[in-house]
Amino acid sequence: MSDFFGDDFTGELKKYYLDATIKEVESFIDLIDESTLNKITVEIREKAESWVVDAKSNEFNSLESWLTDFNAKIDSLDSAEQMIKALSLLQKYLSALLVDGKDSVELGLQFPLVAQSTKEALFLHCKTGAQEFVVPVQNVIEISGVLPLFPLPDLRPGLAGVIPFRGEAIPVVDLKSYGFMTSQTQKYYYIICEHEGTRFSLQVTETDELLSLKDKDMQNLSDHPTMLSVPFIKQFFVKDEHSVMVLDIEKLVAA
């Protein structure tokens, strides 16, 4: 099999972890109802901590990020229905890892754990050179690194060209024209996004992880006049002592 199942011994250990975790998740699903929710939630919280540790030791980096997000949301899953839905999503994610034999951000995006609070949302962390930003996961369709970029005559300002995607020519936002730094790398990824029927793409040098953010994590760009001024960026947050910009997809489409 491919990727993390390439080495027989290591592959067997990783498959054992996935199989065992799937069975543990299934047993929790079978036990949960409204009368047992509080008791089972305590057990799930304890077990989920070990799932995170084991995911890290088995080098399932995206799964580790997903499980960390799950841990942070456990207390907001305050009904049996919500908890079962979240555990079923985890079960599907683990099963997909067994089938695909590959852990990736793209696979994790197929199983978004939607925040229960309207004041919390899931974002995809991206980089373009040294600059970092996040995109709402709900607007991300796909991540691709194998698409050719075609320039067009009379291209309107703010666009770098188009890429082919599922029979469509998808415009690529030229972040450099909005003040983003120019990257020297020749390796790019394309984040295919959609907002209210309009599709577009962002050219990035790296997609990192999924981040769960709350309103209280955000700072207003207007309070920091020395930072990059972009019409579709109004907020940012600090991660590992770095400023990470939050893309406002609605304003980007209108730009």
Residue 3, pLDDT above cutoff 90: no
Under 8 Å between Cβ of 139 and 194: yes
Q: Is the pTM of this model over 0.75?
A: no
Q: pLDDT (tens digit, 9 = 90+) per residue, 143-175? A: 998 789 998 888 778 899 999 999 999 999 988
Residues 200 and 193: their CA atoms lie apart, in Å, by: 5
Q: pLDDT at position 214, please?
A: 82
Residue 236 has a CB neighbour count (10 Å cut-off) of: 23
Looking at residue 83, its pLDDT comes to: 92
Most confidently predicted of 22-26, 79-83, 95-99: 22-26
Confidence class for position 178, pLDDT limits 50, 70, 90: confident
Helices within 58-201 (DSSP H only): 61-73, 80-100, 105-109
Question: Is the confidence at residue 247, as pLDDT, over 50?
Answer: yes
Q: What percent of the chain has pLDDT over 70?
A: 95
Q: What is the DSSP letter of 187?
A: -
- The model's pLDDT over 52-67, given as tens digits with 9 standing for 90+, comes to 999 999 989 999 999 9
pLDDT over 90 percentage in the chain? 49
Question: Is residue 54 a contact partner of residue 17, using CB atoms and an 8 Å limit?
Answer: yes
Q: Minimum mean pLDDT among 103-107, 123-127, 134-138: which range?
A: 103-107
pLDDT of residue 7: 59
Do the bridges between strand 120-128 and strand 242-247 make them parallel or antiparallel, or are there none, so unpaired?
unpaired
Instruction: Please state, in angstroms and rounded to a whole number, the distance separating the CA atoms of residues 123 and 109.
Output: 10
**Coil, strand or helix at 98:** helix
Q: Please, what is the average pLDDT of the chain?
A: 87
Residue 180's pLDDT band (cuts 50, 70, 90): confident
Kindly report, residue by residue over 16-35, the tens digit of the pLDDT.
Answer: 999 999 999 999 999 999 88
What distances in angstroms separate CA 214 from CA 74, 77, 127, 197, 208, one per listed residue? 15, 16, 21, 26, 19
Fold of 120-254: OB fold (Dihydrolipoamide Acetyltransferase, E2P) (2.40.50)
Is 116 in contact with 70 (CB distance < 8 Å)? no
Q: What is the rounded CA–CA span in Å between residue 174 and residue 180? A: 9
